[in-house]
Amino acid sequence: MISRVSGPLVVIKGLNPKMYNVIQIGEEKLIGEVVGIEGKKCMVQVYEDTYGIKPGEPAWDTGKPLSVELGPGLIGNIYDGIQRPLPEIREEIGDFVRRGVMAPGLDRTTKWHFVPLSKRGDKVSGGTIIGEVREGSVNHKILVPPGEKPGVITEIEEGEYKVEEPVCLLEDGREITMYHVWPVRRPRPFLERLSPEVPLITGQRILDFLFPVAKGGTAAIPGGFGTGKTVTQQTLAKWCDAEVVIYVGCGERGNEMADVLEEFPKLEDPRTGRPLMERTVLIANTSNMPVAAREASVYTGMTIAEYFRDMGYSVALMADSTSRWAEAMREISSRLEEMPGEEGYPAYLGARLAEFYERAGRVRTLSGDEGSVTVIGAVSPPGGDMSEPVTQNTLRIVKVFWALDYNLAYRRHFPAINWLKSYSLYEDTLRKWFEDRFGEDWTNLRKWTKHVLQQEAELREIVQLVGPEALPPDQRVLLEVARLIRLAFLQQNAFHPVDTYYPPEKQIEYIRAIKRYEEMAYEALRSGVPVERILSVKGKEKLIRVKYEENFVEELRKIIGEMTEEFESLIEEWKYKVE
Amino acid sequence: MSLREYRTINRISGPLLFVEKTSPVGYGELVEIELENGERRRGQVLDTSEEVVVVQVFEGTSGIDTGARVRFIGETLRLPVSEEMLGRVLSGLGEPLDGGPEVMPDERLDITGAAINPYARDTPKEFIQTGISAIDGMNTLVRGQKLPIFSASGLPHNDIALQIARQSKVLGEEEEFAVVFAAMGITNEEAQYFMEDFRRTGALSRAVVFLNLAEDPAIERLVTPRMALTTAEYLAFEYDMQVLVILTDMTNYCEALREVSSAREEVPGRRGYPGYLYTDLATIYERAGRIRGRKGSITQFPILTMPGDDMTHPVPDLTGYITEGQIVLSRELHMRGIYPPINVLMSLSRLMNLGIGEGRTREEHRALADQLYSAYAEGIDMRGLVAIVGKEALTGRDLKYLEFSYEFENKFVNQGREEEREIEETLDIGWDLLAMLPEDELTRLERWQIEKYHPKYRDKEDHPNDGDKADEVRPNRG
C-alpha cells in the first residue's frame, strides 16, 4: 500500500520486494523501481507522473528487475527511457505522452524471415548464435539467451516467425524464441576482454588524426551549452564506422530528437549505402519526460548495445547527456534524504559512472566472435566549469577527452574541440593500425601537427604583448602554418555535404599538403625571400577552401602544383635580387 | 468531486502549510484555504503521506494561523480555456484583471501539461523574419523554437521583445502571430509599458496577457508560466494558431522556486537553487514546438536577467542547456548607444540551419553568417591587442579587421526600434561590410558566392541601390 508520494518518489509499505524490483503503483499501475528499503517500507522511483496518486492506493511487486526485450524490431525504432516504443504510444494515445500506457518493446505481430545458422544435433549454450533475420542493414543474429544451460538442437527450421514463436527446439523440450529479456542494470556476460587496437573511424579530422578513440573504448565530450556537444554526438552517430549505433537522448531537447528522426532515414551510410536509420536505435527521454525514466535510459541503451555486441558487431553508444543522468540520480537521492556528497550529488556518483563506462569494451563473445561497445558520453558542466563532480568523475574513467571550448565556439571554429586540452590514451595502441593502412608518416605527422599548435599557443602570448610584426620571420611562418592547420584541417563543417565526412586517407593527404607548404615556405625563407611575400602566396588560401571540393585529392594535387611553382618562381626572383 | 475539509494545520513555514490527519490526499491536488476572516487562498499539494500533507500556498501564508480551514478539491490545478481569451488580461492565477467577465470555458485543462511525444514532433524549419539584423542574419529564429533573451538589469530587453512580437512574420504567409504574454514579478511600470505597446499597435486583440507583478505573491509565479503555456497549447493545437509566448522574467520564477525549496528544507544545489531546477525549467521550456499533422506552433521567447551580468549563474546556465540557443545582450554595446545591444558572438540559434538557405532565406546565408562571425571575432581580438600594444603594432590586415568590427556593430547590429529590415537587406549589409576585407581572406565563402553577391561583382543594374564601395555610409533609418 502507498504511504507517501513526493514527486517521482513513492514510499510503499507492506511489500517485501528485492532491491531494483519493478513495482506497479496505484490503480493505474504506474511502473517504478525499488531504490531503497527501510524496515517494512520501500522507496520506489516512479517512471511516470505521480499527480493525483494518493496514500492508501494499492501497489504490486512484479518480482522482476527492470528489463528490456531484445530481439528483431529494435533497429530503426525509437523508445523512451524504459523501452516503450514512442510510435506505438503515439498511435495509442495521441501526440502527448500521458501516463499509464504500456506497450511491449518489440512488436508482437511482425513476421521475420528466420534463417538457421545451426542445425539439428548441434550443441548450443547461452550466447550461441543459432540463426539470423535481416533487419535494415543489419543481419540480426538470434542468440540462445545468455545463462541458458547447454543443450542439443532437435528442431530448427527456416521460415516466417513472430518474435514470440519458437524457432528452435532443444532435446530437453526447451523452446528458443527470437527474443529474450535482460535486466538493464546487469552487464551481459562475455568470454574475455580484448585489448582495444582498432580505431573507431569517425570521419572527423581532429578526432581521427589527433585524438582517436578505439573500438571498445570510452570517450567524454564535456562542454558548456552552445559549444557543440550535440552536433558532435550526432555527427559521430552519422559517420562513425560502427555497425550498430545506439543514440540515447537523455534529458535533452525534443526538437533535436525530431531533427534526428527526420534526417537519419534520409542520410546514407557511406559504407553500406543504406539509410542510416537502418543501423540505429534511438532512445529519447527528453528533459520534460519523467526524471526516473531518464535515470534508466542510459542503462536501457547500454543493454541494447551489449546485445548487438554479443552478435559480434562493433557498436557505438552515444549518451547525450550523462550530466542529465547524474542530475536525475541527484534528484532521486535528495528525495530519499540521503547524505549528499559534492554539490548535492550522491556519494555513489563516481561508482555509478565507473560501472557504466566499464560496460564498454572490445570482447570475445560467448559465441567466440569479436564484438565491441564504444561509449561516447557528453557531459554538460554547469557554467562550463570542468571542475564540477560529473566531469571530474568521468575523466577519471574515460580514456579519451574531447574538451569543447567556449572561445572556439564563439568564433565559430567547429568542431570547437580544444587541441591543447584534449587527449587520447589510445594513440599508441592504435598507431600500428593507422601506419599499416595510411603510411608510416601518420604518427610523425600527428606529432608535427601537435607540435606546431603547441608552439603557436606559446607565440600567441608573445604576440599579445608585442604584436605580430615584431616576431622574427621564421616564427611568423610558423604562425601561418598553424593558422592553416586550424582553418583548413581542424575546422570541419558538419553541415557541408563533402566536408562532414573525411575518411582517414583524405585526412592524411590534407595534412601532408600543409606540411609541404611549411617545407616550401622555410626553403624560400632560407633563400632570402622576404616573409611578407611568403605569407601572401596565393595557393595557401586555396588550401583552406579545397576541403569542400568533391574531387578533393585531384584538386589538392593541382594546388600543391601551383604552390610549388609560385614558390619556385619566388626563389628564382630573389636569387637575382640577393645577388 | 469530493470536498474534504480540515482544521489540522500543524506547522507553517514560509509559503508551506503542514496539515495533519487527513484522509488520503492526491499528490499535486488543488487546495483551498479559508481564513478566519473569510478570505480564500489557493494552494497545491507538494508531498502527501498518511501522517502529513505539505501544501504550498500561492498567495503566501501571511495571516494564516493554525485555525484556518483547508479544503482538498480532489483534482489538480486547471485553467478554463476558450478562444475568447484573446484580448483578455488575466492575473497570474488566471482570473480576469480587465474588469471583463470570467472566461467561459470550452475546456478546463490541467496546467502541468504533458510532454509532446518526441516521435510526434515536427522539425521546426520555417524562417521567422523579426526584422532585426542581428537575429535574422546571425541567429535566425524558426517557428517552434525556444530562444531566450539573456539580459541584465538596465538593458532594453523589453523593447527587443516588443519589437519581435510586433514585427515577426513568416514570409509568404499573411497570418499574424497570436501572442501569449506572461509577466512574473515585473514592476507595474514595466507591465504598463507592455500593455501600452499592445494597445497602441492593436496587438492586444490577438494577445492573452497573464500578469503577476512584483507586488503579487511570489509563489503564484510558479503557476503563471504554466497557465500561459496551457493557453498557448490550446490556441496552437486546437485552433491552428501560430503562437508566440513571451515569459518575463524567468529569474523571478526561479527565485520563487528556491523559496519553496528552502522552506521544505531540501538539499540545495548551486547557489541555493534546488537540484531539480533543470527538470523544472524543462517542463516549461519544452512546451514549445510543432506537431506533425497539426498546423499551429508555439515559439517561445523567455526573458531572464542575469544577476551580476553573470552568464554562469544557474538560471541562465540551465536555461541555455534546455533552450535552442540564446540572444545575449551586452552592457558595453548598450553604453555605446547601439540598439539592439546584442552580443552576436555569444548569441546562438541552434535551429538556424533548418530555417535558412535556398527557398527559405538565401542560398549563401550560412556561409555569409560564418564569415561575418569569424571576421567580427578576429576584429574583437584586435581590440584586445590594441589595448596592450597600441594601433601602431598592427599590420594593415589587422587594422582592417579592427575597423570591420566597429562598422559591423554600427551598421549591421545597430538599427532603429521601429526599423524592420527585410532579410535581403540584412544579408546585403553583411556583404557590403565584408567588402572592407581582402577578398582572399573570405575563406568561409565559396568562390561562386563571392562572384554572385560581393559588391565588387554584384551587377549594378540588378541592384541599383547598392554601391560597390564598402565605406559608403548606409542611411540608418532608425
- The pLDDT tens digits of the residues spanning A184-209 come to 999 999 999 999 999 999 999 999 99
pTM of the model: 0.91
CA angle B21, B26, B32 (to 5 degrees): 75
Q: Find the closest chain A residue to B394 by CA distance.
A: A467
B423 CA to chain A: closest CA distance, Å?
A: 22
B110 CA to chain A: closest CA distance, Å?
A: 10
Q: Does residue B181 contact residue B92 with C-beta atoms inside 8 Å? A: no
- The pLDDT tens digits of the residues spanning B335-356 come to 999 999 999 999 999 999 889 9
- Give dist(CA A346, CA B17) in Å, integer: 29
Q: What's the start-to-end Cα distance of chain B, in Å?
A: 58
Give the architecture (CATH level 2) of A439-578. Orthogonal Bundle (1.10)
Burial string for B151-182 (b: 16+ CB within 10 Å, else e) reads bbeebbbbebbbbbbbbbbbeeeeeebbbbbb
Instruction: Give the other-Cβ count within 10 Å of B318's Cβ.
Output: 26
The distance of Cα A176 from the centroid of its chain, to the nearest Å, equals: 32
Domain ranges in chain A are 2-65, 110-181, 192-425, 439-578
When scoring A5, A40, A486 by the number of chain B Cβ atoms within 10 A, the one with the most, hence best to mutate, is A5
As a whole number, the mean pLDDT across chain A is 92
Q: How many residues does chain B have?
A: 478
Q: Is A390 helix (H, G, I), strand (E, B) or coil?
A: helix
Answer whether B398 touches A (CB < 8 Å). yes
Residues of B in contact with A98 (CB under 8 A): 114
The distance of Cα A45 from the centroid of its chain, to the nearest Å, equals: 27
Q: How confident is the model at residue A244 (pLDDT cuts 50, 70, 90)?
A: very high
- Annotate A504-549 with three-state secondary structure: HHHHHHHHHHHHHHHHHHHHHHHCCCCHHHHHCCHHHHHHHHHHHC
Answer whether B144 touches A (CB < 8 Å). yes
- Give dist(CA B138, CA B332) in Å, integer: 19
Domains of chain B: 4-76 (2.40.10.170), 79-355 (3.40.50.12240), 365-473 (no CATH)
Q: What are the C-alpha distances in Å from A468 to residues A544, B388, B392?
A: 22, 13, 11
Burial of B67 (0-12, 13-18, 19+ CB in 10 A): exposed
DSSP A488: I
Q: What's the start-to-end Cα distance of chain A, in Å?
A: 100
- Give dist(CA A298, CA A82) in Å, integer: 10
Q: Is B333 helix (H, G, I), strand (E, B) or coil?
A: helix
Nearest to B145 by CA among B135, B155, B159: B135
Query: Do the chains contact at A226 and B350, CB–CB below 8 Å?
Result: yes
Query: Quick one: cell of A305?
Result: 548495445
Strands, E assignment, A288-368: 314-320, 361-364
- The pLDDT tens digits of the residues spanning A316-355 come to 999 998 999 998 898 888 888 888 888 889 999 999 999 9
- Which residues make Cβ contacts (< 8 Å) with residue A20, sequence separation at least 6? A33, A34, A35, A65, A66, A183, A185
- Annotate B411-477 with three-state secondary structure: HHHCCCCCCCCCHHHHHHHHHHHHCCCCHHHCCCCCHHHHHHHCCCCCCCCCCCCCCCCCCCCCCCC
Compare CB distances from A78 to B119, B270, B447 and report the shortest one's residue: B119
Compare CB distances from B269 to A289, A344, A413 and report the shortest one's residue: A344
When scoring B30, B55, B119 by the number of chain A Cβ atoms within 10 A, the one with the most, hence best to mutate, is B119
- Give dist(CA B41, CA B35) in Å, integer: 8
For B354, half-sphere exposure in the C-beta direction (CA atoms, 13 angstrom radius) is 22
Nearest to B273 by CA among B240, B309, B316: B316
Q: Is B3 helix (H, G, I), strand (E, B) or coil?
A: coil
Instruction: Give the other-Cβ count within 10 Å of A421's Cβ.
Output: 12
- DSSP bridge pairs for B56: B16, B44
Q: Does residue A136 contact residue A75 with C-beta atoms inside 8 Å? A: yes
- DSSP bridge pairs for A245: A280, A316
Query: Quick one: cell of B467?
Result: 554601391
- Give dist(CA B89, CA B212) in Å, integer: 11
Question: Helices (H), strands (E): how many in chain A?
Answer: 16, 27
Strands, E assignment, A380-451: 400-401, 423-424
Q: Find the farthest-apart pair of alpha carbons in chain B and give their distance in angstroms, rounded.
A: 84
Nearest to B292 by CA among B83, B116, B115, B110: B116
Q: How many residues does chain A have?
A: 579
Name the B residues in 358-397 with CB < 8 Å from any A CB. Answer: 366, 370, 373-374, 377-378, 384-385, 388-389, 393-395
Query: Quick one: cell of B401?
Result: 579587421
**Which H or E run includes B247?**
strand B242-248
Give the architecture (CATH level 2) of A110-181. Beta Barrel (2.40)
State the fold for domain A192-425: Rossmann fold (3.40.50)
- Give dist(CA A149, CA A126) in Å, integer: 6
Q: Is B316 helix (H, G, I), strand (E, B) or coil?
A: helix
Answer whether B321 touches A (CB < 8 Å). yes
Answer positive or negative: Cα dihedral of A432, A433, A436, A437.
negative
Q: Is A250 helix (H, G, I), strand (E, B) or coil?
A: strand
**A385, amino acid identity:** D
pLDDT in tens, chain B (478 residues): 456 889 999 999 988 999 997 888 999 899 999 998 989 998 999 999 989 999 999 888 888 999 899 999 888 889 999 999 999 999 998 999 999 899 899 999 999 888 999 999 999 989 999 999 999 999 999 999 999 999 999 999 999 999 998 899 888 887 788 999 999 999 999 999 999 999 998 889 999 999 999 998 888 899 999 999 999 999 999 999 999 999 999 999 999 999 988 888 888 878 889 888 988 999 999 999 999 999 999 999 999 999 999 998 999 999 998 999 999 999 999 999 999 999 999 999 999 988 999 989 999 999 999 999 989 999 998 998 888 888 887 888 889 999 999 999 999 999 999 999 999 999 999 999 999 999 888 988 988 999 999 998 876 545 444 444 434 444 443 3
Query: Do the chains contact at B279 and A327, CB–CB below 8 Å?
Result: yes
- CATH code of A2-65, in short, is 2.40.30.20
